[in-house]
Amino acid sequence: MSHGEENGSGSSTSSRGFGRRSFLGTATAVGVGAAAGVLVGRDSLPPGELAARQATLRLTGDSCTLTPPPGFPSGISLYQQGYQNWSTETVVDDVWTCAPSNAADVVAVANWAVGAGYRIRPRGFMHNWAPFTVSNTQTCASPVVLVDTTTCMVSMEMISGPPLAVKVGPGATMEAILGFLEGNNAGLASVPAVGQITIGGAMAIDGHGAAVPADGETPLTGQAFGSISNLVLSLDAVVWNSATSAFEVQTFTRSDPRTKALLTHLGRTFVTSMTLQASANQNLRCQSYTSISAATLFASPGSAGSQSFASFVGRAGRVEAILYPFTSNPWLKVWSVCPNKPLLSRHTTTPYNYVFSDIIPQSVAVIVNQIISGHPEAAPSLGAAEYAATVAGLTAFLDYDLWGAAKNTQLYIQASTLRLAEGGGVVLCKRADIQRVVSEFYAKYSSLMTSYQQQGKYPMNGPIEIRVSGLDHGSAVQASGAEPPAISALLERTDHPEWDSAVWTNMLTIPGTPYAYDFYTEMGNWARANYASYGAVRVEWSKGWAHTTAGPWNDNTALTQTIPNDFRVARTSTQNWDWALGVYDALDPHRIFTSPLHDTLTP
Ligand SMILES: Cc1cc2nc3c(=O)[nH]c(=O)nc-3n(C[C@H](O)[C@H](O)[C@H](O)COP(=O)(O)OP(=O)(O)OC[C@H]3O[C@@H](n4cnc5c(N)ncnc54)[C@H](O)[C@@H]3O)c2cc1C
């Protein structure tokens, strides 16, 4: 068994060539028509064989029909279903899956699992990169049952307050929740860009947006700029009662010290309901720019002018820069609070306005297929095609200047976009250091891209994405005794109260691209060393991290020391990483809510 398999990544992709699993996944990602020419690569199967297998197998592995888990509670819908995460890097065929109607069903399943020796995995839309649900080392024969919350546990109810809030089931989507809030003249200040994810999934991994207040902006009552997790006023979770020796639903409020371990929990518990703090809704204007060069936007602080990344953050607070590989001008989005429609803005009443990024243009798909079929050197062409498609799309759809109710520009990416592997991290820093963080990141990324290119290597063929959010502070929560989520990447650093900003950097590439793991490893190690003198680096739980040249979630030192240490600094023994792990074990002593990755990361 490889190191990666032990830790749950179980990747079948080498760092030198495209592997079978990534091949299949990416072929699926660019569509059947496009996939037809995609199926042969250096490490691939012979022509035709892959397509034949795709046609006969449900996903990529061997199909497997087993007798149902013995004694499973009757009356709860149970079936075998393939698990495939969004990037297609984690695939397990025919996993036993159930769809509970309510929290009582989840309790029944949990109590059954203890006696039966099964693990239970809460499941939303399977969009997470990090394998916190299942791993490639598991099969349909593994004693695990997925619990799909997306079908029945989707209720939504406004709580008029104060504080203004919404109570939701864990399977409700972010899109549904934001739409429901909008219908009640309410909203959230900072949310993930994607709407087809569950609130349960977003909360588990401290989902975040791209927003901080602009210079001089006074946030509305209820607005917070950290993670989704820190918006939770109270939650219901399925936890072990040692007095009755059984699982039951308990309610956790923010004044209960244990709650801070359950806000961001990486799937180490099962949340059946949560109440989120909200604010009055706002109108936002979202302007796109494609003519500012990366050199200007990411200039070093000494030479940064009014077109620098940090100056946009100062003026508007809400910024995202996307830079396609080997291109010179990023796609910059800048949102500003704007009560009334500016004359030249297009009024949008629906989210997902960037059709060109949700439906892959043919010009892009053709080059993706070239790369997958063994030509990673086509990466510069891919970047150029993506930039051209972006400029054309923004122009054709009148998308350069949008205005409307917040959610219609806050949600701007759909699951149908090109499926890519993603490495992610965040740097906590002073607001005055945002430009330094992004300029150093851009300089390092560019020089590494050049040095790999000079060796004939093209590990990164997707864009980089840079955003800024606030941190998680208890003071932002309208509940007495609130402490910030104990293991959120946005957890405040009380020893550095001046670190008030979080710069998120993501690097994307087609799953299985040769040398990608080498590149991620170098960038990850560089970031830890580079930012240590004026900030703190943490991993983005939902993405790829702890890379070695063998893959993500694979660096044993990172998994067992470096990352836990991130949540030990300036934390007491009743707040830190080890304490949080103790809470999970106390509430789930049989460790039924675990995946192989938890076994290493949260032993
Ligand atoms: C295209 C795309 C864009 C994205 N953009 C952003 C972004 O802008 N910002 C951001 O922060 N993230 C973003 N993400 C990441 C996304 O927020 C996470 O992957 C999220 O976890 C996905 O939710 P899901 O419903 O698919 O959860 P799943 O992938 O099904 O589950 C994720 C984890 O949550 C656990 N879980 C799910 N439900 C529960 C529950 N009820 N109780 C306990 N644990 C539970 C699962 O066990 C698993 O460990 C993006 C993802 C994609 C694919």
Percent of the chain with pLDDT over 70: 89
162 cis-preceded (ω within 30 degrees of 0): yes
Give the C-alpha separation, 373 to 359, whole Å.
21
pLDDT in tens, 100-132: 999 999 999 999 999 999 999 999 999 999 999
| Residue for token pair 């918006």 | 231
Ligand 1 binding pocket includes 418 (Cβ within 6 Å): no
Residue 19 has pLDDT above 80, yes or no: no
Nearest CA to ligand 1 atom 1: 415
Mean pLDDT of the residues in the chain: 90
User: Mutation test of ligand 1: which of 85, 91, 109, 128 has the most ligand atoms closer than 8 Å to its C-beta?
Assistant: 128
Q: What pTM does this model have?
A: 0.92
Task: Give the containing element (helix H, strand E) for 253.
Answer: strand 246-253
Ligand 1 binding pocket includes 415 (Cβ within 6 Å): yes
Cα–Cα nearest to 256, from 232, 223, 225, 226: 232
pLDDT in tens, 121-161: 999 999 999 999 999 999 999 999 999 999 999 999 999 88
Give the confidence band of 48 by pLDDT, cuts at 50, 70, 90.
very low
Q: What is the mean pLDDT of residues 528-545?
A: 98
Write out the two tokens for 281. 């809704």
Task: Write out the DSSP string of 185-225.
Answer: TEE-SS--SBSSSBHHHHHHTT---S--PPTTPPPPTT---
117 exposure class (CB count in 10 Å sphere: 0-12, 13-18, 19+):
exposed
Give the ranges where 456-568 is alpha helix by DSSP (H).
Answer: 516-531, 556-557, 563-566
Cα–Cα nearest to 599, from 138, 87, 270: 138
> CB of 86 within 8 A of CB of 128?
yes
pLDDT in tens, 253-275: 999 999 999 999 999 999 999 99
Give Cβ neighbours of residue 339 (< 8 Å, ≥ 6 apart): 282, 283
Q: What is the mean pLDDT of residues 407-434?
A: 96
Q: What is the mean pLDDT of residues 465-490?
A: 98
User: Over the Cα atoms of the chain, what is R_g?
Assistant: 23
Instruction: Say how far residue 136 (Cα) sits from the centre of its chain.
Output: 19
Ligand 1 binding pocket includes 202 (Cβ within 6 Å): yes
Ramachandran bin of 245, using left for φ above 0, alpha for ψ from -120 to 50, beta for the remaining angles: left
Name the amino acid, one letter, at 236.
Answer: D
Cα–Cα nearest to 167, from 96, 94, 272, 92: 272
Write out the two tokens for 106. 């989840």
Percent of the chain with pLDDT over 90: 87
User: Mutation test of ligand 1: which of 231, 503, 542, 553 has the most ligand atoms closer than 8 Å to its C-beta?
Assistant: 542
Better-scored residue on pLDDT, 47 or 335: 335
Ligand 1 centroid distance, CA of 252 (Å):
22
In this structure, of 52-61, 132-141, 455-464, 543-552, the range with the lowest mean pLDDT score is 52-61
Ligand 1 centroid distance, CA of 421 (Å):
15
Cα–Cα nearest to 506, from 517, 491, 520: 520
Ligand 1 centroid distance, CA of 286 (Å):
25
Write out the two tokens for 243. 């007095």
Give Cβ neighbours of residue 495 (< 8 Å, ≥ 6 apart): 569, 570
Give Cβ neighbours of residue 201 (< 8 Å, ≥ 6 apart): 124, 125, 127, 128, 207
* Enzyme catalytic residues: 127, 320, 465, 467
Q: What is the side-by-side order of every strand in the sheet holding 119-123? A: 77-84, 91-99, 144-148, 119-123
Write out the two tokens for 408. 């219609």
The phi, psi pair for 238, rounded to 5°, reads: -90, 110
163 cis-preceded (ω within 30 degrees of 0): yes
Task: Write out the DSSP string of 49-98.
Answer: HHHHHHHHSSSSS-----PPPTTPPTTSEEEEEEEE-TTSS-EEEEEEEE
Helix-helix angle 20-29:49-56, to 10 degrees: 70
Nearest CA to ligand 1 atom 29: 126
Give the confidence band of 34 by pLDDT, cuts at 50, 70, 90.
very low
Helices (H) and strands (E) in the chain, counts: 20, 20
Ligand 1 binding pocket includes 194 (Cβ within 6 Å): yes
Q: Is the sign of the CA dihedral 417, 17, 424, 168 positive or negative?
A: positive
Nearest CA to ligand 1 atom 52: 127
Give the C-alpha separation, 26 to 580, whole Å.
37
Ligand 1 binding pocket includes 122 (Cβ within 6 Å): yes
Ligand 1 binding pocket includes 226 (Cβ within 6 Å): no
Ligand 1: nearest atom to the Cα of 414: 1
The whole-number pLDDT of residue 27 equals 34
CA angle 48, 417, 288 (to 5 degrees): 145
Residues comprising the chain, all counted: 603
> CB of 204 within 8 A of CB of 422?
no
Give the C-alpha separation, 535 to 537, whole Å.
7
